[in-house]
Amino acid sequence: MPNVMDSVTAVKGVGHKKAELLAKLGIHTVADLLTHFPFRYEDVSIKSLDELEDGQKATIAGQVVTQPVVQYYGRKRNRLSFRLRVDQAVLSVVFFNQPYLKKKIHMEEELVVYGRYDMGKGQLNGFKIFNQQADDNDVEAIYHVTQGLSQKTLMTYIANALATYQLAIPERLPYDLRAKYHLISHSDAIKNMHFPESEEKGVEARRQIKYEEFFLYALRLQWQNHLRRQVGNGAPIIYDNQQLKQFIETIPFELTKGQKQVVNEICADLRQDYQMNRLLQGDVGSGKTVVALIALMATYLAGFQGALMVPTEILAEQHFASLSEFFADTSINLALLTGSTATKQRRQILADLKNGDCHIVIGTHALIQADVAFDNLGLVVVDEQHRFGVKQRQQLAAKGEHYAPNILYMTATPIPRTLEITIMGDMEVSKLQEMPNGRLPIKTAWMRKNQQAMIDELLREQLASGRQAYVICPLIGESEALEAQNAEYIYQEYLEKYGHEYHVGILHGKMSNEDKDAAMNQFKDNETQILVSTTVIEVGVNVPNATFMIILDADRFGLAQLHQLRGRVGRGEHQSYCVLVADPKTDNGRERMRIMASSTDGFYLSQQDLVLRGAGDYFGTKQSGLPEFKLADPIADQVILETARQDAQQFLPILLDHADDYPQLSSWLATMRADFSA
């Protein structure tokens, strides 16, 4: 029985050499090959000469009326030419450097040629010759290929794969939905992606497959949500409310109304015996950490362990230091686990986590390594969650021994509603709408490089009144080494200018972890007043006395990133300032600087970022945690996404009640279930 999961070498014509080339395109199985979709179609319908414009690419059919001749000139260069009678006219046809085509051209025979029409010369510059019997479609698919693997070969493989496997392509949609939208079968849609009769059929197939992708994705999210909500699966965090209240009393500031509200939401959810899956959204500086702290405390009081995962070591160190302070008068045993934890210490921490002696662990990706195991993990907090991939977030959550641990994701990067649904499914969302009391909005100015004198004046004013400042080095991106070198250079500059009055520090990715910690601690303790830094401080860093930030070449950053960076100031009672230094060369760059200087609203900024940079840039790489679809684009195809989501919502109860009627989908979800509980 042919199975689409067969190796691609099972396809007729695919040998081991070519399989290696296919692997470069990410094609390993027959299914991979069949879903290696074209990125556009070429119109190859046969045209008559009088409908052609000069320079147009078109397919022409005619009768060969002269013998083909190949002329050689120079080394290796040659020209094949002949004449073709098309309707009542005679057209000269030339092919450059394809002498082997000569054997396909025979006097008096009909020939179909694709090429570019040169009206002035009455000539067609041919690209290829079609085999008349096989090509009765009006369009031809164009694929991404790789060196050594031509369009033609790839198309042959796909045609061969379809010949053997088309009937083996499983259906993806329930029949009712196909009927509702007049959709064709999945296997026909796949066929039409590659060999559409017309451009329209190709476009329809594309839309159908996008819908299928969204539908299946949404169905899976809702299924997971359903499983999660099944009673008894989650760790019930039953804590002593009095004790928690007493702990909250020891926090040196009064929680804002918003913080109290989200703490209540989270704690109510934690007490349930199904798994919590909640996103805490709050703009930069809104005070998410203390909310996590209270949730972790509740978890501890209920006799469970907690874990807090963050994207950078600097942030892990910082959270460890501040949580140590908050928990100083408790008997909580806190640990810090990062990539640079010494082997011996790491071994001890792993042992303590396993036997339950360690109550709360704070760390980086080091937490999701295979040998990290817990005694009874009850709560996982993922800070700056947008910096982790979907897999990474799930890996930590999978470390629960007896229960699926409760999960709290935290982020300052707000996402539009539809995307939120796509990424998060129907997860609960808590929002921190307000900033802590007395917080003044950061004043932002955009200045040109030649206004340095003014910038210095502002900086001196802040330093003189006892405040501290960040100087953010330009984003170079090519390498961390270059970035470090540049940071050194800027550091020297500031040292010369300010060194005799103030202490200047430096922080970049190439420094050892000890040096990084030292630099961060010195700044925190106000031993250094100016910190020259790369974007390593982008997320989470909290030094409330720092009120001034200079961002060099600010136009190289995206708005969302600038907002994160700028969020390092304005974290205390004092008025804070941010100076964007940039001479942008494009309108887009200038527009971004204007927007940045005029708004401190993270939600607005990230939407503008989306508009100005497009989804790809906005979310960066796979880091973003956006699911990967073959064709569907959650931003461009929002309408399809919303339709598919609603359909999935209506269909899930039907599927749950009549699993036997949908064997394909049921078995597919059953494998999902394995993923989910693994």
Residues 240-259, interacting with ligand ADP (CB under 6 A): 253-256, 259
Tokens of 676: 């989910």
Dihedral sign for Cα atoms in the order 663, 665, 666, 672: positive
* Binding-site size, ligand ADP (CB under 6 A): 18
Q: Which is nearer to Mg ion, 212 or 317 (CB)?
A: 317
CB-nearer residue toward ligand ADP: 266 or 552: 266
State yes or no: residue 540 binds Mg ion (CB under 5 A). Answer: yes
Of 290, 358, 424, 506, the one binding ligand ADP by CB under 6 A: 290
Nearest distance from C-beta of residue 283 to Mg ion, angstroms: 10
Q: Which residue, among 262, 379, 363, 369, has the nearest Cα to 319 in the 3D structure?
A: 363
196 part of the interface to ligand ADP, by CB under 6 A: no
255 binds, among Mg ion, ligand ADP, none (CB under 5 to 8 A by kind): ligand ADP
Residues 559-578 that bind Mg ion (CB under 5 A): none
3-class DSSP state of 85: strand
Q: Per rule CB under 5 A, is residue 602 in the interface with Mg ion?
A: no
Q: Toward ligand ADP, which CB reaches closer, 173 or 412?
A: 412
**Nearest residue (CB) to Mg ion, 432 versus 579:** 432
Of 191, 210, 288, 386, which lies in the binding site for ligand ADP, with binding defined by CB under 6 A? 288
CA separation for the pair 185, 142 (Å, rounded): 23
Residue with smallest beta-carbon separation from ligand ADP: 287
Contact stretch for ligand ADP (CB under 6 A) within 152-160, 280-288, 371-379, 652-660: 280-288
Contacting ligand ADP (CB under 6 A), which of 11, 284, 520, 531? 284
> According to the binding rule CB under 5 A, does residue 378 interact with Mg ion?
no
Q: Could you say whether residue 282 binds ligand ADP (CB under 6 A)? A: yes
Q: How many CB atoms lie within 10 A of CB 630?
A: 12
- Does 202 bind Mg ion (CB under 5 A)? Our answer is no
Q: Please check whether residue 612 is in contact with residue 587, taking contact to mean a CB–CB distance below 8 angstroms.
A: no
294 touches ligand ADP (CB under 6 A): no
Residue closer to ligand ADP, measured from CB, 498 or 577: 577
Q: Shortest approach of ligand ADP to residue 285 CB, angstroms?
A: 5
Classify residue 404 by its DSSP letter. B
Decide: 274 and 234 in contact? Cβ < 8 Å: yes
One symbol per residue from 432 to 451: x for binding ligand ADP (CB under 6 A), - otherwise; what is it? ----x---------------
CA distances to 67, 511, 580 from 483, rounded to whole Å, are: 64, 11, 19
Residue placing its CB nearer to ligand ADP in the complex, 234 or 572:
572
DSSP 447-459: E-GGGHHHHHHHH
Q: How many CB atoms lie within 10 A of CB 534?
A: 23
How far apart, in whole angstroms, are the C-alpha atoms of residue 82 and residue 33?
A: 38
Token digits for 63? 């009768």
Q: Between 541 and 580, how does the x/- string for binding to ligand ADP read (CB under 6 A)?
A: -x-x--------------------------x---------
* Helical (H) or strand (E) element with 484: helix 480-498
Q: Tell me the C-alpha to C-alpha distance, in Å, between residue 124 and each of 31, 117, 251, 389.
A: 38, 5, 81, 51
Residue 463 interacts with, from Mg ion, ligand ADP, none (CB under 5-8 Å by kind): none
Residue with Cβ nearer ligand ADP (191 or 288): 288
Q: Cα–chain-centroid distance for residue 583?
A: 29
Q: Which does 436 bind (CB under 5 to 8 A by kind): ligand ADP, Mg ion, none?
A: ligand ADP
Alpha-helical regions (H) of 305-416: 313-326, 343-355, 390-397
Distance CA 577, CA 597 (A): 11
- 232 vs 264, 270, 273, 406, CA distance in Å? 22, 13, 5, 12
**Residue 172: which of Mg ion, ligand ADP, none does it interact with, CB under 5 to 8 A by kind?**
none
Q: Name residue 579's beta-bridge partners.
A: 445, 550
**Binding positions for ligand ADP, rule: CB under 6 A:** 253-256, 259, 282, 284-290, 412, 436, 542, 544, 571
- Residues at the site binding Mg ion, with contacts judged by CB under 5 A: 540
